[in-house]
Amino acid sequence: FSNQTAISIVSNVSGDFNFEVFNLTGQRIHSQQVGLLTGPNQFTFDAGDLPNGAYYYTIGNAAGKVSRMMVIAKR
């Protein structure tokens, strides 16, 4: 993706979740709170200040979290 991408997730519960992005050395480089509803959800992540490369992100709360990989490839 370029500067912005849509993050999609299906949640079993409604509530506030932490969305965090990490580089491959494990350093947290972005954090924001997102409100999710039960079922399919989508929110926008703006990666405008991040360099090209591979990253992973987590979305979670006190009950648990999921992790996924993403690649930023700007022109």
List Cβ<8 Å contacts ≥24 apart for 63-72.
63/13, 65/18, 66/9, 70/1, 70/5, 72/1, 72/47
For residue 23, the model assigns a pLDDT of 96
What pLDDT score was predicted for residue 2?
A: 60
Whole-angstrom distance, CA of residue 27 vs CA of residue 40: 29
Residues β-bridged to residue 35: 16
Could you list the pLDDT tens digit for every one of the 75 residues in the chain? 568 889 999 999 999 999 999 999 999 999 999 999 999 999 999 988 899 999 999 999 998 999 999 998 877
> Where does 4-72 sit in CATH, by number?
2.60.40.3080
